[in-house]
């Protein structure tokens, strides 16, 4: 990771003094074909903040992220970008403010890495004009930040899975948006690359940008995010600092798992360990508060 390369030069100093609310969603409801998926979701991301969106499969994480990115409409509620609605901002300006990293990372044509990353500049390009100096600069920074500059001449067929994800992340960085919405950027990455990807997202927040990231890995979520939003049972089950959200009760309710907890060098961590006792069912309230408490003491993995 080349973290210190252009530090400061990218930071918009006017925004770092007090965190601005970049995206604010209030009372969002979404559904598919009349089937409600999410109700009464309130969520905000401020500049310099990393918000983790977690929850079991099918809990609506991607759906919510797509609503936040204005890729699909909400049935109810509003999403505001710096206080304005998407219509007030306009599609092109919104594209410059919000970068979206899709899940899966499909690339349909075998472009060179550099060319692919340059696609992130499309919202800034004027028709029938080549890349400007600012475009080239942004592409260069993105390539270095994501640590893929050495791959720039390769085609997408000539890179590994981990490199591919970093290249796609570089594409999103090249937008130089205020906010990055990333859908499972660590999926299909080995542990080292997962950590690298999360480090990179943290680096982005240090530049004063906001990040909303969908994660499946609770350990990464706990370790890297400033705040977590736990989606389950058709809404927000919990929202707040990781230690507030990732309680035994909530995890049992949301995922039906028990976790192991530990601490090392003053940093606490958790590890999904086994299926929770079968008593949560579809209970949507805290009826089973005491069932899972204290079942296991913190056990430290021997690493």
Judged by the rule CB under 8 A, the positions of this chain that interact with other proteins are: 66, 69, 71, 91-92, 94-96, 98-100, 102, 106-112, 115-116, 119-120, 122-123, 125, 127, 153-155, 158, 168, 171, 175
Distance of CA 24 to the CA centre of its chain: 15
Smallest distance, Å, CB 92 to other proteins? 4
Nearer to other proteins, 120 or 234 (CB): 120
Spatial CB neighbours of 137, under 8 Å, sequence gap ≥ 6: none
The CA distance from 69 to 45, in Å, is: 12
- Phi and psi, residue 40, nearest 5°: 50, 55
Nearest 10 degrees: Cα torsion 235, 281, 288, 299: -90
Nearer to other proteins, 154 or 202 (CB): 154
Smallest distance, Å, CB 269 to other proteins? 33
Nearer to other proteins, 46 or 171 (CB): 171
DSSP 69: T
Smallest distance, Å, CB 238 to other proteins? 28
Smallest distance, Å, CB 75 to other proteins? 16
Nearer to other proteins, 89 or 218 (CB): 89
Nearer to other proteins, 39 or 97 (CB): 97
SS3 labels along 245-271 = HCCHHHHHHHHCEEEEEEEECCEEEEE
The CA distance from 41 to 44, in Å, is: 10
Nearer to other proteins, 96 or 233 (CB): 96
The CA distance from 148 to 20, in Å, is: 31
Smallest distance, Å, CB 179 to other proteins? 11
Smallest distance, Å, CB 63 to other proteins? 12
Sign of CA pseudo-dihedral 142, 146, 147, 152:
negative
Nearer to other proteins, 179 or 196 (CB): 179
CA distances from 181 to 16, 50, 71, 112, 114 (A): 19, 10, 12, 24, 22
> Do 48 and 209 meet the contact criterion of CB atoms below 8 Å apart?
yes
Smallest distance, Å, CB 99 to other proteins? 7
């Amino acid at each position: 990771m080349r973290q210190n390369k252009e530090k400061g030069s990218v930071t918009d100093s006017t925004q770092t003094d007090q965190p601005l609310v970049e995206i604010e969603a209030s009372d969002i409801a979404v559904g598919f074909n009349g089937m409600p998926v999410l109700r009464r979701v309130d969520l905000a991301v401020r500049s310099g903040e990393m918000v983790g969106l977690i929850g079991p499969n099918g809990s609506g994480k991607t759906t919510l992220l797509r609503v936040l990115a204005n890729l699909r409409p909400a049935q109810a509620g509003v999403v505001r970008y710096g206080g304005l609605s998407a219509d007030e901002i306009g599609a092109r300006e919104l594209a410059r403010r919000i970068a979206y990293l899709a899940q899966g990372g499909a690339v349909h044509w075998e472009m060179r890495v550099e060319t692919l990353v340059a696609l992130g500049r499309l919202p800034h390009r004027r028709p029938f004009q080549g890349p400007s100096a600012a475009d080239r600069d942004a592409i260069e920074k993105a390539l270095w930040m994501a640590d893929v500059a050495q791959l720039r001449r390769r085609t997408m067929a000539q890179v590994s899975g981990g490199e591919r994800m970093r290249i796609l992340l570089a594409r999103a960085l090249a937008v130089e948006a205020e906010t990055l919405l990333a859908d499972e950027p660590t999926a299909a990455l080995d542990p080292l690359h997962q950590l690298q990807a999360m480090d990179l997202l943290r680096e982005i927040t240090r530049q004063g940008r906001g990040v909303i990231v969908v994660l499946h890995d609770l350990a990464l979520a706990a370790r890297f995010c400033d705040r977590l939003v736990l989606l389950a049972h058709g809404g927000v089950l919990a929202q707040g600092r990781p230690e507030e959200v990732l309680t035994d009760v909530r995890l049992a309710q949301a995922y039906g798992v028990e976790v192991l907890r530990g601490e090392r060098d003053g940093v606490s961590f958790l590890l999904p360990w086994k299926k929770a006792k079968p008593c949560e069912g579809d209970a949507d309230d805290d009826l089973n508060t005491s069932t899972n408490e204290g079942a296991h003491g913190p056990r430290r993995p021997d690493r």
